[in-house]
Amino acid sequence: MHVGQDKLQRYFGPDIAYFVQHSPYFALARPGSAVRFVKQQAEAGEECCLALHAYPFLHIEPLEFFYTCLRNLGALDQALLEALCGLTWRGVVWGAWLAMLEPRSEFVGPLRAARPNPYNDWLVDCAISVIEQRAPPPQHEVFVELAARCRRCLDGVPRPVVLLRLEPTASEIARIERERDHVRSVYAEAGTNAALRCIPGTLAGNYALDYVRWVRSARRGTVLHGISSDFPS
């Protein structure tokens, strides 16, 4: 279960940006390249079906795209999709693709809100048509069928549990500032090593980490919010 699932909350922007940066959004951005790319991935998924269903215990290079999708699907909820759709056209592209892999009714609202982007409307329209179980625009029928093939490849494959940091609240921001002030005062009085010893276990230290370092620290139990997944290594 995701933190804040009962009440829609905002995820920490840099974590969302990490997901987008490590996705093949460029290959999915335009209809022609998207069809070519997804066709190749669907064929790989079908050919390596047994290996894919052995995830996360087995990883092979031809399935890297599916592993990326699974790691994102492990975190996917309405709040994540809203965050993706609010993060430039790249996030809209990747969010729409994830919604095609795991179509849920609550995703329609964020997708419709992202639609006024003329460059990516086609992909958003495809995602909405999949969720609403209606025919896509005729020129995109091939792409939607390829997405369905990918969705069938992923059917029954376990999703990793992925937690994301939430955007700090006003009270947490105030706490972070107090912690930073304390670190600065320790640095002024006792130097760098003493200041560094003050950071672990603080909220300021938690949010200062980039996503990869935060995940690794969470595995070691040295940050405030943990994560259980294989992402990222």
- Domain assignment present for residue 141? The answer is yes
| Domain co-membership, 26 together with 140 | yes
Listed as ranges, residues in the chain with pLDDT below 70 are 1-8, 221-233
Residue 221 is predicted with a pLDDT of 66
In a shared domain, residues 189 and 74? no
- Give me the number of domains the chain comprises: 2
Pair (210, 115) in one structural domain: no
pLDDT of residue 144: 98
Instruction: Specify if 89 maps to a domain.
Output: yes
HEC letters along 146-197: HHHHHHHHHCCCCCCCCCCCECCCHHHHHHHHHHHHHHHHHHHHHCHHHHHH
Q: Which residue has the tokens 């048509």?
A: 129
Q: What are phi and psi of 97, to 5 degrees?
A: -65, -45
Residue 148 sits in the same domain as residue 175: no
Q: What is the pTM of this model?
A: 0.84
Q: Indicate the residue among 154, 184, 202 that finishes a domain.
A: 154
| Domain identity same for 142 and 71 | yes
**pLDDT (0 to 100) of residue 8:** 58
- Clarify whether residues 52 and 122 are in a common domain: yes
Which pLDDT belongs to residue 2? 41
Is there a domain that residue 188 lies in? Answer: yes
Report if residue 138 sits inside a domain. Answer: yes
Q: Which of the listed residues 127, 154, 181 is the one where a domain comes to its end?
A: 154
Q: Are residues 143 and 196 in the same domain?
A: no
Report the distance separating Cα 233 and Cα 231, nearest Å: 6
Residue 39 domain boundaries: 13-154
Q: Say if residue 32 is in the same domain as residue 71.
A: yes
Same domain flag for 56 and 102: yes
- Does any domain span residue 7? no
Residue 8 covered by a domain: no
Per-residue pLDDT at 222: 56
Please tell me whether residue 166 adopts helix, strand or coil conformation. Answer: strand
